[in-house]
Structure 1
Amino acid sequence: MKHFLLLLFLTLLAPTLQAQAPISDATIAAFYDRLPVVQTPRYQLERGLQRQLIRSDFSTADLAGLQLKGRQLVRVDLVYTAFHRDPKFNQRQLNLDRLRNLADRLPNLLTNDALTWNLVEQAGCRTPETCQDYFHGFVLYFEPYYTAIDNSVEAVRLSAALSLRTAKLATARKARTRRGVPVPCGYPLSQYKLKDLTRRVKRSYACPSKQPQTITFRATVSRRGQLESVRITDTLAACPEALAQSLRESLSFATGFRVGKEQFGFEVTGRVQLPLRRHGLTLTGYLLPDSIIRKYRIQLNVKNCTARRLRPGEPADSADLPNPDADIVTKVLARHPDWDKKVIVADVTGSMSPYTLDLLTWLQLSLQQQRRTFVFFNDGDDAPDDKKRIGSTGGLYAIRTARFDSLQLRLLDAMRHGGGGDAPENDGEAVREALRRAPDAREIILLADNHTFPRDFRLLLNLPVPLRIILCGASNYVNPRYLILGRRPGITLHTLAGDLPDLHDLPEGTTINILRVQYLVTATGLKPVKLL
């Protein structure tokens, strides 16, 4: 096997170890004994992260050159060989001594909840001579400690890279000819003129509040023009139920959304200015399902729409234009056309720049005319790490739009105001903010950093809608804490290699292959048992 990474499970709900000076033997042993032993022929260094090797015979002097300023420790691998000549040799005790030696010199090492620990037993050598060339000791992996200044530099680089991709896409679009046969397309016909519709609403709407307000609403209409539901989307509206009932009684359409010889159900958005006057009610837009828009290549304009039906065998147009540099975000979203992609939450801290670029490229290709809710988060706008509080860390930048330029500016604004600081982020707080801004969400898509884990993970539990977590950077392993989170109903995990949608349904005693490790399902989680 070319590359190996052992996944080590540290349970989320276990009490954290209390730092003591000196650390007791019982504490060291309890920590060590929670680590399952998994073998590999020979340890291979993980790519994509900064690293430093600490050999087993290290001294304090060896650690003196360890530079932590400007970077943060995210993973520790304890590496040794299975071979030993003396049958009385105690590998466990040797590893305990090594662990104590390191923990005594690096304060809080065992109590750092942001760390992932890996215990690696090399089984590829059989003699003292061959084993001598194998690495024995600790491998420390780091990520840069990003500040707002660092992330501002990343934002400039991201913008430049996006400009190059935009040029590629423009060239590809220009090369395509105008394909397809024009199809008649018409907005639904209302039973009443707007001024008459306003009068109907005014007659039936009664509310004690006389405060001037502009209230937004959304209505669902069948393909025959029959009103199915009305929802007030302004959470601060006065008498929302009364207004919704008045709109249900007043809105009426003679047709559905007409495309060719067919009619389709649709959604209509609008606003009501209170108190109602002659032009107090306005219909602001019509929405069709993505599948209909793609099928007929529909373009929705202010006053009309256009549609073209591709001839048999003709390739799709710009809606299906491929991402020239597709990465995990594009590939996961492309293999899930069933997802409702209207609410997206994204970590935009410094380490996530490559995946942020992939997200922006995908959005360039897929936004069309549909409004989506986005929440970009940077873990506190560069607040000091000791000031970050669960549920109120901040650094959230939300927007609801169908305009790519608007969401790009909002995302870059989030990047410029904070780099993330310490490893754990405020994913849960951002997801809760997305639900507050989009209470009608059917599911939430979260772009998360696989190398870290949310400090506020409890806010991700018991959500009212499914949570789809795209694990960025999970090329060789899945963070064990995310695997535990993925065992909760309603939460699914997704990597570049594939999906982990039903971890909570796995019965005890079964095995599952995740990337390069085989796991045994136990009562407490997934235990790594074999390298693939």
Structure 2
Amino acid sequence: MLAVFLRALLGSLFFVFLSGPIQAQTPLSEADLSAFYDQLNAYRTERYQPLPDLEAIRLPSTFSGADLQALHLRERHIVRVDLVYTAFRLNPTFDQRQLNLSRIRNLAAGLPGLLQDESITWTLVEQTGCNSPAECQPFFHGFVVYVARHATAATSRADLDSLTRKLRLLDKKLAKKKAARKKQGKKVACNLPFTQASTRQMARHLRRAYRCPQRIGQIIRFEMSVDEHGKTRQVRVQPNSKLTCPAELEEAIRQSVLFASGFYIHRRQFPFEVKGAVRLPLGPFQLLGRPDLAITDFSLSDSVARLYRVFLKKKGKRDYCEARITPAGELLADTTSPELVLPPDANVVARVMQRHPEWSKEVVVTDVTGSMFPYTYDLLAWLQLSALEDKKTFVFFNDGDDQPDKTKHIGKTGGFYSVKTDSYEAIKNKLVEAMKAGGGGDAPENDAEALLHAQQLTSDSTDLILIADNHTFPRDTRLLKNTTAHVRIILCGVHDYINPRYLALARKHGFSLHTIESDLLDLSKLLEGETITIQGQLYQITRDGFKLVRKT
């Protein structure tokens, strides 16, 4: 106990160096701390691997004030905290929960206000890859704290310069593509991916592999990610509240739908996405000649699609593809600037917009602070490539025009820049104006205030599209308490799992969520206690929202 007290005291002494978004608060009571703990995301993995796209600081379980000082919270803010430990128990009566609570309490003593900051995502990670003290010794035990740098006027100017250069480069490439558009290009070989068995055989294997109770008359749609060798990377069953065992169905599909190759184009094989459907209940006989299993569509990554013109065609009952390559296609195969490393879902805005051409009259509300720079570019690139047929309203917000964070008040932060037009140049100019006026400061931003501002600019019946940062939950969602707006949230930065707070927000207000992989609708119909599989991760609906309970 003395050692714990000294660590907490030392952490408090070093707190004078840690001034940032976390302010001193009254510590949680034991009951409140226990309730806080019970709502944490928790999953098991063989060995913990830090997220590649965020800056991670490791705090060992015996962290000191010097370790806390290394967080440099004057220049950065905390986005996420993972508490990592091993499942191995030398003593069967060992109480991991109490140890975890003690560690969280110690960390909170060194960083007052940490547990009250609703923008921070917490996760418990139990490692299962060791079975003895010697094996577990190299495994990390402690906190992994993910941080992001505060946006400043200087970082905003740098982002704006980079954005301008990237758009100029895209302009040049599009001009060359337009000049070459009349050329059909050279026809090259193209073969759809080969399956290891016929559809009938795969359906038969699926019936043997899936043993869960099945309701009559269900069509369950699924998506698969497959690598260039034909190996399945991931199976995702679309959310369906009537499906009894989504995880088991995903595993049965993984075992049954097997490919022998990648997507073959021009002497190369590429990774691909495949969509399909399963008819439940699975039976020994096909209903009216319709199979239990069907593969409905193939798609390629944007980079491959830019390089090759690929067309999926049908001749009789046979599906086939045609592909052509043009000089413009080769040129557009790489539209990224070498100065910027883009996140894996950097084109999420374009992908979602392309998936929903019916979204023609919605108002687009987007965060243009530093964390959203790659997605800001994606929005402009999509607008430049797809001519707007109707005038659309855009609201860009920068979280208060660079005013100090201590002067920002819920509902009165401002920093909004709006335009209603069908002109790409007018939209770009207004976005640049918003970026020049402010960089955002500390996270989180004022998304809810921006939504209400956008709603005032149009009719109540108009839907809103919010482009938001998955890693940072807005600080002002209480403003949406009485909103009647329907909001479609495009989540950027969904690389590990969806922030449960966004799931809870969508369920509470009837909003929809959209990622690069899927559309999440009707979350408000889910009941407390139910579980749902989203993009391979299992979530449980709780009294307070959602929590991750299993991670693939």
**1:19 corresponds to which of 1, 21, 25:** 25
Partners in 2 of 1:20 and 1:111 — Cα distance? 9
* 1:89 and 2:94 matched: yes
Instruction: Give how far 1:89 is off.
Output: 1.5
Partners in 2 of 1:347 and 1:323 — Cα distance? 26
* 1:141 and 2:161 matched: no
Letter in 2 for 1:19: Q
Query: 1:429 — aligned with what?
Result: 449
Letter in 2 for 1:78: L
| SS class of match (1:98) | helix
Partners in 2 of 1:522 and 1:98 — Cα distance? 24
* 1:49 and 2:54 matched: yes
Letter in 1 for 2:381: T
Query: 2:512 — aligned with what?
Result: 492
**2:462 corresponds to which of 442, 449, 465:** 442
* 1:29 and 2:34 matched: yes
* 1:73 and 2:93 matched: no
Query: 1:130 — aligned with what?
Result: 135
**Offset from partner CA, 1:157-211 (integer Å, 9 cap, x none):** 11101111122222111111299xxxxxxxxxxxxxxxxxxxxxxxxxxxxxxxx
Partners in 2 of 1:331 and 1:363 — Cα distance? 12
Instruction: Give how far 1:404 is off.
Output: 1.4
Partners in 2 of 1:509 and 1:389 — Cα distance? 36
**1:380 corresponds to which of 388, 391, 400:** 400
Segment drifting more, 508-517 vs 389-398? 508-517
**1:452 corresponds to which of 469, 472, 476:** 472
8 Å contact from structure 2 (residues 537, 550) kept in 1: yes
**2:109 corresponds to which of 89, 104, 110:** 104
**2:495 corresponds to which of 468, 472, 475:** 475
8 Å contact from structure 2 (residues 490, 515) kept in 1: yes
Instruction: Give how far 1:440 is off.
Output: 6.5
Partners in 1 of 2:98 and 2:388 — Cα distance? 62
Partners in 1 of 2:66 and 2:86 — Cα distance? 25
TM-score (norm 1): 0.66
TM-score (norm 2): 0.64
Instruction: Give how far 1:155 is off.
Output: 0.6
Letter in 1 for 2:25: A
Q: Which runs of 4+ in 1 moved over 4 A?
A: 23-27, 321-326, 507-510
Letter in 2 for 1:168: K
8 Å contact from structure 1 (residues 391, 429) kept in 2: yes
Identity %, equivalent residues: 50
Partners in 2 of 1:342 and 1:174 — Cα distance? 33
Instruction: Give how far 1:515 is off.
Output: 2.7
CA RMSD of aligned residues (A): 2.8
* 1:364 and 2:364 matched: no
Partners in 1 of 2:518 and 2:377 — Cα distance? 21
Where do residues 341-360 of structure 1 align in structure 2 (5 Å cutoff)?
A: 341-360=361-380
Letter in 2 for 1:525: G
| SS class of match (2:508) | coil
**1:404 corresponds to which of 424, 430, 450:** 424
Letter in 2 for 1:393: T
Query: 2:275 — aligned with what?
Result: none
Partners in 2 of 1:65 and 1:490 — Cα distance? 41
Letter in 1 for 2:537: V
Gapped runs of 5+ residues in structure 1? 1-15, 180-312
8 Å contact from structure 2 (residues 399, 440) kept in 1: yes
1:342–1:509 distance in 2 versus 1, CA, 3 Å: closer
Query: 1:287 — aligned with what?
Result: none
| SS class of match (1:72) | strand
Instruction: Give how far 1:461 is off.
Output: 4.8
Partners in 2 of 1:148 and 1:17 — Cα distance? 23
1:460–1:437 distance in 2 versus 1, CA, 3 Å: same
8 Å contact from structure 1 (residues 49, 142) kept in 2: yes
Instruction: Give how far 1:72 is off.
Output: 0.7
8 Å contact from structure 1 (residues 475, 495) kept in 2: no
8 Å contact from structure 1 (residues 39, 122) kept in 2: yes
Partners in 2 of 1:522 and 1:112 — Cα distance? 20
Partners in 2 of 1:156 and 1:486 — Cα distance? 35
1:72–1:522 distance in 2 versus 1, CA, 3 Å: closer
Instruction: Give how far 1:40 is off.
Output: 1.7
Instruction: Give how far 1:63 is off.
Output: 2.5
**Offset from partner CA, 1:223-262 (integer Å, 9 cap, x none):** xxxxxxxxxxxxxxxxxxxxxxxxxxxxxxxxxxxxxxxx
8 Å contact from structure 1 (residues 81, 136) kept in 2: yes
Instruction: Give how far 1:59 is off.
Output: 2.0
1:344–1:461 distance in 2 versus 1, CA, 3 Å: farther
8 Å contact from structure 1 (residues 323, 330) kept in 2: no
Segment drifting more, 439-448 vs 51-60? 439-448
Instruction: Give how far 1:388 is off.
Output: 1.2
Partners in 2 of 1:440 and 1:66 — Cα distance? 44
Instruction: Give how far 1:507 is off.
Output: 4.2
* 1:505 and 2:525 matched: yes
Query: 1:160 — aligned with what?
Result: 165
* 1:170 and 2:175 matched: yes
Instruction: Give how far 1:24 is off.
Output: 4.8
Letter in 2 for 1:59: S
Segment drifting more, 376-385 vs 450-459? 450-459
Query: 1:518 — aligned with what?
Result: 538
1:371–1:32 distance in 2 versus 1, CA, 3 Å: same
Partners in 2 of 1:162 and 1:59 — Cα distance? 46
Query: 1:420 — aligned with what?
Result: 440
Partners in 2 of 1:147 and 1:324 — Cα distance? 27
Gapped runs of 5+ residues in structure 2? 1-21, 185-321, 337-345
8 Å contact from structure 1 (residues 510, 521) kept in 2: yes
Partners in 2 of 1:459 and 1:27 — Cα distance? 25
Partners in 1 of 2:333 and 2:446 — Cα distance? 32
Query: 2:358 — aligned with what?
Result: 338
Query: 2:550 — aligned with what?
Result: 530
Segment drifting more, 338-347 vs 78-87? 338-347
Query: 1:62 — aligned with what?
Result: 67
Partners in 2 of 1:484 and 1:17 — Cα distance? 25
Partners in 2 of 1:441 and 1:83 — Cα distance? 55
Partners in 2 of 1:356 and 1:37 — Cα distance? 32
Partners in 1 of 2:513 and 2:103 — Cα distance? 35
**Offset from partner CA, 1:379-420 (integer Å, 9 cap, x none):** 000111121122221100011112211211110111111111
8 Å contact from structure 2 (residues 86, 126) kept in 1: yes
Partners in 2 of 1:369 and 1:172 — Cα distance? 22
Letter in 2 for 1:328: V
Partners in 1 of 2:170 and 2:59 — Cα distance? 41
Segment drifting more, 138-147 vs 56-65? 56-65
